[in-house]
Amino acid sequence: MVSTDRFLAFAAMSLLVIVIPGPSVLFVIGRALAHGRRTAMATVLGNVVGSYLLVVAVAFGVGSVVERSVVVFMAVKLAGAAYLVFLGVQAFRHRKELKADIIRAEPSDAAAHGDLRTVLDGVLVGATNPKGIVFFAAVLPQFVDHTAGHLPTQMLLLGLVPIGIGLITDTLWGLTASAARTWFARSDRRLSLIGGAGGFTMIGLGVTVAATGRAD
């Protein structure tokens, strides 16, 4: 249904966009630094689900409404930005509790934050990512074959390409950041600093998302 040349062209375009770190990548890094590998991986899963929700929205016409309406776009963007700031503040407030979490190992991370809650956090950030909204609403429809019909199905299939690429790259970012966090765990002071850095990363990301224009 989707021709090979269109598929490869969209894959190349997706790769170029995804390799430039955006809100989702920085969010995963911030969560990895603040809470560790388990939370980072749950965040990656949530981001993937949230991003694919954008694909579904575009495939069935909702995404274009969001992208074309300044009011709706700004509302979605500010909601995501506010939630990022909230999560960053929470991570900074609890930065001194990280040592105990690591001593109790990864399962404590799930108990402290809840895997489902962490995934839902990622879904919300992924679904309100301005970069994702613009990319899927403005770029994805250009690669469908209108003569072949079944346009929503084509978009849903093409949308799996950037989702798959993002899953791989975000996982690598999360694992790398969580490994660095483990090294910092050898010192209470360094661990507190890295936890605070993760919180500030999310706060700064939220402010940046709120302040940037539609081109992000």
Query: Domain-by-domain residue ranges, the chain?
Result: 4-12+22-211
* Angle CA 192–45–52, to nearest 5: 135
Residue 163: name the closest of 29, 17, 31, 37 by CA. Answer: 17
| pLDDT of amino acid 172 | 92
pLDDT at 106: 45
Q: What is the pLDDT of residue 25?
A: 79
Q: Would you state the pLDDT for residue 108?
A: 43
Q: Which helix (H) or strand (E) holds 135?
A: none
H/E stretch holding 2? none
3-state helix, strand, coil in the chain (%, to 5): 85, 0, 15
Among residues 61, 36, 58, the alpha carbon closest in space to that of 185 is found at 36
pLDDT per residue as tens, the chain (216 positions)? 667 888 888 888 888 777 766 677 778 887 887 788 888 999 999 999 999 999 998 888 765 555 566 676 677 667 767 766 777 777 667 655 554 444 443 444 444 446 788 899 889 888 887 778 777 877 777 787 767 777 788 889 999 999 999 999 999 989 988 887 777 666 666 656 666 666 676 677 677 767 765 444
By three-state DSSP, how is residue 129 classified? coil
The reported pLDDT for the residue numbered 18 is 79
Alpha-carbon span 69 to 63, nearest angstrom = 10
Size of the chain, expressed as the number of residues it contains:
216
| The predicted structure's pLDDT at residue 50 | 92
CA pair distance 138, 67, nearest whole angstrom: 8
